Amino acid sequence: MARPTPLSGFPEWLPDGRVVEQHVLDTLRRTFELHGFAGIETRAVEPLDQLLRKGETSKEVYVLRRLQEEAGEGEPARAAQLGLHFDLTVPFARYVLENAGHLAFPFRRYQIQKVWRGERPQDGRFREFAQADIDVVGAGELPYHYEVDLPLVMAEALGALREIGLPPVRVLVNNRRVAEGFYRGLRLTDVDAVLRSIDKLDKIGPDAVADLLVAEAGATPEQARACLDLAAISGGDAGVVDRVRSLAAAHGVESELMEQGLAELRQLVEAAAVRAPGVVVADLKIARGLDYYTGSVYETVLVGHEQLGSICSGGRYDTLASDGNQTYPGVGLSIGVSRLVSRLLSAGLVRATRGVPSAVLVAVTSEESRPQSDAVATALRARGVPVEVAPTAAKFGKQIKHADRRGIPFVWFPGEDGDQVKDIRSGEQVAADAGSWAPPAEDLWPRVVPAEG
C-alpha cells in the first residue's frame, strides 16, 4: 500500500490539533450543560425524501447504498433511500416528532456531531465537518425570550474560548418581521427576491444591489434606495429601532408586522445589553436565513476577523416541525466547529501544550524490572496523573528522548533506593514517591493556549 494522500474536504487533525478541537468541544458542551441543554445524538442518516424537502440543498446530499445492492437488488425506491444528514436541524426536527410523547417542552437540547455535504471543497468549505447546535423547541408555542437567551448562550460558549486565543465575538441580529414589514410597506411583494439581493451587499456593493433590486425584485430606484437605507442601519441599542421608524415614516411605510418585529428587536438588544454588554448588535443588512426563519436571525463574527464570515448562525422557526396536529416552533444556533478549529490552527492563533495526554513517562531500567515501572504508573494513575511506561529498556538518554519527542514533560526513574523524577524541560531532578508526587497543575493534562507571536 503506497502512502495515502488526504481527501480534499475531509479534514483530519494530528494529535495536537485534535487536543485543540477536543478542548473546543468540551468547552462548548460545558457551557451548554450549565444552561440546561440536554445532549442528544441522532443517527447520521435520514430518509432521502426528508432531506430533500428543501430543494435547494439537493445537490449537497450524499446518498447511501449498500454495496451488495449493486449485485442485482436493483435501485431501491426513493422513499427507502437513505442519505447522510447535511445539518443537525432536520434530524432534530424528526427526533422531536418521533419522541414528542417522551419529551418535556420547551425542550432544550445541544447536539455536537459530524454532518456531510457533497459540495465541491473550496477554501474553508468541508465535505465532512462537526457542528455544535443548540435549540429550544416548544409544543404549540415558544415564548419570545428564548430568542434573547439562545444567542447569549452561544456568545457565552464562544466567549469561554477567549482564554485560548479566540478573538471576541459579536452577534449580529435582524428580524424577518422588520424586513418583510418594511418591504411590503414599500409595496414590494417579492420579499425573497429583495432578501436575495440585499444578501449580496458585502460582495457586490450598494450600486449593484440597487440594480438587482430593480431587475429582480421589481423595485423602482426609489424603493431600491429605501431598501439600501434600511440595510445601512445598525447599532447596539434601542436607537436602531427609532432610526428604522424614521426611515419607514419618510417612505410612508406603515406596517403592523414591522412594528411587531421592531418591538422584538428592541427587547433583544436591550436585554442583551444588560446581560452581555457589547456582544449583540442589530444589523439590518443581515439577510441570509431571513428567507426561511420567521423571526430573529443571527450571525456571529470574530471581532477583527469579520472577513471570515459568520462562525455561528441561526434563528427562529415558527414551524421547526409539525405532525399535522401540533406544530413545534423553535429557535437555535449552530457553530461550524471544524471550520472554527481549522482557522484557529491554520492562523496559528492557538497551540496545544502537547499532543499526548501523558504527563509522565516512567522509565524502564531493564525488561525484568518492567513490573516495577508498571507499579509506579498504576500508583500515579490512581491519583489521576496520566502516565505511560517506556516502550523498551533502552538507555535512559534514549528514553528521555522518547518523552521529549512526544512532548511528555516528566520522566520517572524507579530506583532501589527510592525513585526520582526529572522535569526534562528544566533538567531538574528530585526524589519522589509515586504515592504522593503530582506534577504542577498546569502540566497535568495537555492545555490549549494562545500561540505566541
Cβ atoms 157, 28 nearer than 8 A: yes
Binding mask 149-188 for a second copy (x = CB under 8 A): x---------------------------------------
Q: Between 214 and 273, whose beta carbon lies closer to a second copy?
A: 273
Find the binder of a second copy among 55, 56, 67, 397 (CB under 8 A). Answer: 67
Closest to 435 (Cα-Cα) out of 398, 381, 358? 381
Cβ atoms 411, 443 nearer than 8 A: no
Q: Looking at 157-165, 198-206, 235-243, 387-395, which segment touches a second copy (CB under 8 A)?
A: 387-395
Residue 125 in contact with a second copy, rule: CB under 8 A: no
Task: Confirm or deny that 307 is annotated as ligand binding.
Answer: no
Residue 298 in contact with a second copy, rule: CB under 8 A: no
Find the binder of a second copy among 28, 88, 92, 108 (CB under 8 A). Answer: 108
Q: Looking at 27-35, 216-224, 238-246, 289-297, which segment touches a second copy (CB under 8 A)?
A: 27-35
Find the binder of a second copy among 20, 23, 38, 313 (CB under 8 A). Answer: 38
Q: Helix, strand or coil for residue 241?
A: helix
- What element of type H or E holds 212? helix 201-217
State how far the Cα of 77 lies from the Cα of 70, in Å rounded to an integer. 14
Q: Looking at 170-178, 369-377, 424-432, 435-443, which segment touches a second copy (CB under 8 A)?
A: 369-377
Binding mask 301-340 for a second copy (x = CB under 8 A): --------------------xxxx----------------
State how far the Cα of 381 lies from the Cα of 447, in Å rounded to an integer. 19
State how far the Cα of 265 lies from the Cα of 237, in Å rounded to an integer. 10
Q: Looking at 80-88, 230-238, 247-255, 310-318, which segment touches a second copy (CB under 8 A)?
A: 80-88
Indicate the burial class of 319 (C-beta count within 10 angstroms; 0-12, 13-18, 19 or more).
Answer: exposed
Find the binder of a second copy among 23, 92, 106, 199 (CB under 8 A). Answer: 106
Q: Looking at 65-73, 223-231, 239-247, 253-261, which segment touches a second copy (CB under 8 A)?
A: 65-73
Residue 396 in contact with a second copy, rule: CB under 8 A: no
Residue 381 in contact with a second copy, rule: CB under 8 A: yes
- The b-or-e profile of 245-271 (16+ CB within 10 A means b, else e) is eebbeebebebebbbebbebbbbbbeb
Q: Closest separation between CB of residue 319 and a second copy, Å?
A: 10
Parallel/antiparallel/unpaired status of strands 82-84 and 410-413: unpaired
- CA of residue 252 relative to chain centroid, distance: 41
Residue 73 in contact with a second copy, rule: CB under 8 A: no
Cβ atoms 118, 127 nearer than 8 A: yes
Residues constituting the chain? 453
Binding mask 209-248 for a second copy (x = CB under 8 A): ----------------------------------------
Alpha helices in 166-200 (DSSP H): 176-185, 191-198
Closest to 210 (Cα-Cα) out of 219, 298, 111, 387? 219
Residue 87 in contact with a second copy, rule: CB under 8 A: no
- What phi and psi, each to the nearest 5 degrees, are found at residue 2? -70, 165
Residues 405-424 that bind a second copy (CB under 8 A): 405-406
Find the binder of a second copy among 23, 89, 95, 151 (CB under 8 A). Answer: 95
Q: Closest separation between CB of residue 5 and a second copy, Å?
A: 7
Residue 77 in contact with a second copy, rule: CB under 8 A: no
Q: Looking at 106-114, 245-253, 286-294, 434-442, which segment touches a second copy (CB under 8 A)?
A: 106-114
Q: Looking at 82-90, 160-168, 197-205, 420-428, which segment touches a second copy (CB under 8 A)?
A: 82-90
Distance between first and last Cα of the chain: 40
Residue 145 in contact with a second copy, rule: CB under 8 A: yes
Number of residues located near a second copy, criterion CB under 8 A: 98
Q: Between 357 and 450, whose beta carbon lies closer to a second copy?
A: 357
Q: Closest separation between CB of residue 435 and a second copy, Å?
A: 16
Task: Confirm or deny that 88 is annotated as ligand binding.
Answer: yes
Q: Between 191 and 345, whose beta carbon lies closer to a second copy?
A: 345
Residue 386 in contact with a second copy, rule: CB under 8 A: yes
- CA of residue 384 relative to chain centroid, distance: 30
- Kindly list the distances between the CA atom of residue 427 and the CA atoms of 388, 400, 415, 423, 430, in Å, as whole numbers in the listed order: 20, 11, 18, 5, 10
Q: Which residues, in sequence order, are CB contacts of 429 under 8 Å at separation 6+? A: 420, 421, 422, 423
Cβ atoms 216, 186 nearer than 8 A: no
Annotated binding site: 87-89, 117, 131, 135, 288, 292-293
Annotated binding site for L-histidine: 87-89, 117, 131, 135, 288, 292-293
